[in-house]
Structure 1
Amino acid sequence: MDEEDELLGIAEVSARIGMAPDTLRYFERQGIVPSPRRDNAGRRQYTAGDVELIRMLVHLRETGMPLADIAQFTGADDKVDDPAGFRLELLTAHQRRVQDRRAELDRALEVITRKIADYSDRITSTPELLDRPDCTIAFTVQGDGPLLFLVGAPAGRAGFAALAHELAEQFQVVTHDPRGIGASRAVPEMAAPTPQVLAEDLAALVDRFTGGPALFIGTSGGAVTLLELAKQHPHLVDRAVLHEPPLVSLLDDPDLADRAKAAFAAAETDPQHAVQEFFDLTGAGHHTGPDQLPPTHLDLPQLPAEELDKNRYFLGQMAGPTVFYVPDIEATRRSSIALCAGALSHHQLARRATQALADQLGLPLIDVPGNHVGASAEPAEFARAVVPLLHN
């Protein structure tokens, strides 16, 4: 008998799909899974096709499809004229729900990961300090090997903690909190965190270790900082990997630019609204493949006071100069850089901008794991992908 013709009892099916026999019987009574054939003694006999269908229905249940929808999916052949089209509608609607839920979980996971890294850093290390004329920059060093700086804006030491740990076996990894972020507290009369100012802070930090070139990985606004560093201090850059610099300046999209400006303008008085707008226009919290568009809007939960204060600073002072920064293409061409973007960032602002930059420079855009926050959300996979890019 072929495997496809093999008939299985309920105990065997239960073992294969990880569902108790009583649960299978209950779902059968509710019309959620189809009733199988029975032998002469009344025992259930499942075909391989039955098992695969039940397995799929279990996946639908585990991902939160309402039981009523699953029952409709199962009984479509007897209830509608176009069962295939009806099932497609049910699956498409459920796919949207799962994608929205995944985006919510990704945001929660990012916050949880950042907090774990933050508390771990507080427990295991005290940052070193670099005095600047108008502020103090906090930084942390770990590992041995070639000098590698991880650069973000607004991401700082906490955001890079997991990635730094992955890279510390091969590199001496330096992470720092940009001015106004984390332990690099904003102080009165501190210069605004423009890419030019952040690049000078970074240059001073590099000089703290070596007067010669170093390796860099920059993500999001940190990649923009590295573009300015390469322009002002090219002798410091041995090799730089730029991950998704969100350069609205490179996109011929006036509506997007206007929305970004409006979000930044609202940050001081209504940071919740500013965060919502920036989240929607960037699409950066979503996972989108080549054939997927990020949702135009997804309601964010009310942010706690601490996050609102952070975004007053980030969106109100740092984000605007960063996304509207105009890179010096000729200066960038003279530097050794690689451009990469998340394999799940398609049709999002930062990936579109990075593709535009790659086109101007005549460089390939290299896919790396995850989306815009892949460096923190998938640190091991991200590290494996970017380390080869640090070599010319």
Structure 2
Amino acid sequence: MDDADELFSIAEVSARIGLAPDTLRYFERQGIVPSPRRDNAGHRQYTTADVELIRMLVHLRETGMPLADIAQFTGADDKVTDPAGLRLELLTAHRRRVQDRREDLDRALKVISRKIADYSERTTSSLELLDRPDCTIAFSAQGEGPLLFLVGAPAGRAGFAALAHELAGRFRVVTHDPRGIGASRAVSEMAPPTPEVLAEDLAALVDRFTGGPALFVGTSGGAVTLLELAKQHPHLVDRAVLHEPPLVSLLNDADLTDRAAAAFIAAETDPQWAVQEFFDFSGAGHHTGPDQTPPVHMALPELPTEELEKNRYFLGRMAGPTVFYVPDIEATRRISVVLCAGALSHHQMARRATQALAGQLGLPLIDMPGNHVGASAEPTEFARAVVPLLER
């Protein structure tokens, strides 16, 4: 008897699948799975195909597919004339539900992570201030070990707090709010937050701790800041891990360039539209594998006044100089640099740009957990993946 002819009792199926026998009987009574064959004594006999079908049912149920749809998918509903077509339709609709649910969970996870980070920061680090000629930079430090700076733009201390907590067992982790962000509040006569200015702020912060080289992890605009730091102050960089610098300048994409420029110009007068446009053309709010592309458009809810004000600054003043920044490739080659991108950022603007940068530098592109915001949304997994990149 080959595997296809092997028969299993209900107890054996229960042990293989992890469903109680009573649950299997319930699904059968409800018409969710077809009734198996029976032996002369009336005992159920499941084939290998039956077992695999039930295993699939479990996956569908665990991801929230309605029982009526499962019944149709498994073929228990024998009135279907095109079962393959129906299964494709059911799975396509269910994948959309799962994706929507994942996005809802990601939003909830961000809120939870922020609260964990908030409480963690209160107990493990204290706010300090660095005076600059035209503003004051807020920063925090925690942990012991080699000096590590987590750099973002616009992400600041709050965005990195959970990741910093994960890394503080191995490193002395420093996070800061870039000028105009968080506690580093914008003031009149402050220089605009270009990569050049942000790199000088970062260099001054490094000097506050040490005059020698340090380790860096830069995400999004923070990775662009590190590219400029490498140009201005290469002696400060021991190793830099760059995660998804969103360099539109490297993509040779006229339509994307025009859309980005229009969004940044509109940010001051219509930040809601600017945020929506940025969300759509960047694709950074989605999870996309190698065979997936971000949706062309997904409507965002109306943003509260506080968020609109933040994006007037971020999109109106910081984002443009960042995404249109042209890196100095030769200067970057003079430092130890690692390029990485989210494993779920495929076909998104920032991953495409990082791939282009990797091509110019002749470096591999390393996959990291999550998407563009993996460092804040999945701090434990991101920390686990980034430590080997820093310790090479």
Fold match (TM-score > 0.5): yes
TM-superposed deviation, 1:281: 1.3
Are 1:179 and 1:198, in contact at CA under 8 Å, matched by a contact in 2? yes
Partner of 1:73: 73
Partner of 2:132: 132
Partner of 1:327: 327
Amino acid at match of 1:50: D
Are 1:344 and 1:371, in contact at CA under 8 Å, matched by a contact in 2? yes
Partner of 2:9: 8
Q: Secondary structure at the match of 2:141?
A: strand
In structure 2, C-alpha distance between the alignment counterparts of 1:53 and 1:271, rounded to whole Å:
50
Residues 254-284 of structure 1: CA deviation (Å, up to 9, x unaligned): 1111222222233333333322221221111
Are 1:163 and 1:379, in contact at CA under 8 Å, matched by a contact in 2? yes
Amino acid at match of 1:242: L
Partner of 2:34: 34
TM-superposed deviation, 1:139: 0.9
Are 2:9 and 2:43, in contact at CA under 8 Å, matched by a contact in 1? no
In structure 1, C-alpha distance between the alignment counterparts of 2:193 and 2:324, rounded to whole Å:
13
Residues 151-181 of structure 1: CA deviation (Å, up to 9, x unaligned): 0111111211222222222221111111122
The answer as to 2:292 corresponding to 1:275 is no
Q: Secondary structure at the match of 2:50?
A: helix
In structure 1, C-alpha distance between the alignment counterparts of 2:111 and 2:180, rounded to whole Å:
19
TM-superposed deviation, 1:78: 3.1
Residues 312-360 of structure 1: CA deviation (Å, up to 9, x unaligned): 2222221111111111122222222111112221111111000111111
Are 2:271 and 2:312, in contact at CA under 8 Å, matched by a contact in 1? yes
In structure 2, C-alpha distance between the alignment counterparts of 1:381 and 1:120, rounded to whole Å:
18
TM-superposed deviation, 1:20: 5.8
- Shift of the 259–76 alpha-carbon distance from structure 1 to 2, 3 Å rule, reads farther
Q: Superposition pairs for residues 354-365 of structure 1, below 5 Å?
A: 354-365=354-365
The worse-fitting range, judged by mean Cα deviation, of 381-390 and 73-82 is 73-82
Partner of 1:169: 169
Are 1:115 and 1:158, in contact at CA under 8 Å, matched by a contact in 2? no
The answer as to 2:253 corresponding to 1:253 is yes
Partner of 1:370: 370
TM-superposed deviation, 1:240: 1.0
In structure 2, C-alpha distance between the alignment counterparts of 1:32 and 1:270, rounded to whole Å:
51
Are 1:31 and 1:75, in contact at CA under 8 Å, matched by a contact in 2? no
In structure 2, C-alpha distance between the alignment counterparts of 1:107 and 1:281, rounded to whole Å:
20
Q: Superposition pairs for residues 288-327 of structure 1, below 5 Å?
A: 288-327=288-327
The worse-fitting range, judged by mean Cα deviation, of 358-367 and 116-125 is 116-125
Q: Secondary structure at the match of 1:293?
A: coil
In structure 2, C-alpha distance between the alignment counterparts of 1:136 and 1:163, rounded to whole Å:
24
In structure 1, C-alpha distance between the alignment counterparts of 2:334 and 2:41, rounded to whole Å:
80
In structure 1, C-alpha distance between the alignment counterparts of 2:123 and 2:135, rounded to whole Å:
24
Partner of 2:109: 109
Partner of 1:141: 141
- Shift of the 275–29 alpha-carbon distance from structure 1 to 2, 3 Å rule, reads farther
Partner of 1:287: 287
Number of equivalenced pairs? 391
Q: Superposition pairs for residues 50-65 of structure 1, below 5 Å?
A: 50-65=50-65
Amino acid at match of 1:111: V
Amino acid at match of 1:190: M
Q: Superposition pairs for residues 210-229 of structure 1, below 5 Å?
A: 210-229=210-229
Q: Secondary structure at the match of 1:34?
A: coil
In structure 1, C-alpha distance between the alignment counterparts of 2:64 and 2:361, rounded to whole Å:
45
Are 1:144 and 1:171, in contact at CA under 8 Å, matched by a contact in 2? yes
Amino acid at match of 1:205: L
In structure 2, C-alpha distance between the alignment counterparts of 1:342 and 1:317, rounded to whole Å:
26
Are 1:135 and 1:187, in contact at CA under 8 Å, matched by a contact in 2? yes
Are 2:141 and 2:174, in contact at CA under 8 Å, matched by a contact in 1? yes
- Shift of the 208–52 alpha-carbon distance from structure 1 to 2, 3 Å rule, reads same
Are 1:239 and 1:391, in contact at CA under 8 Å, matched by a contact in 2? no
What are structure 2's unaligned runs of at least 5 residues? none
TM-superposed deviation, 1:80: 3.8
Amino acid at match of 1:253: D
Amino acid at match of 1:61: R
Q: Secondary structure at the match of 1:78?
A: coil
- Shift of the 24–263 alpha-carbon distance from structure 1 to 2, 3 Å rule, reads farther
Partner of 2:381: 381
TM-score by length of structure 1 reads 0.90
- Shift of the 301–352 alpha-carbon distance from structure 1 to 2, 3 Å rule, reads same
State the Cα RMSD in Å. Answer: 2.5
TM-superposed deviation, 1:191: 2.0
Residues 31-80 of structure 1: CA deviation (Å, up to 9, x unaligned): 32222334556555544433332232232123222333222212378334
What are structure 1's unaligned runs of at least 5 residues? none
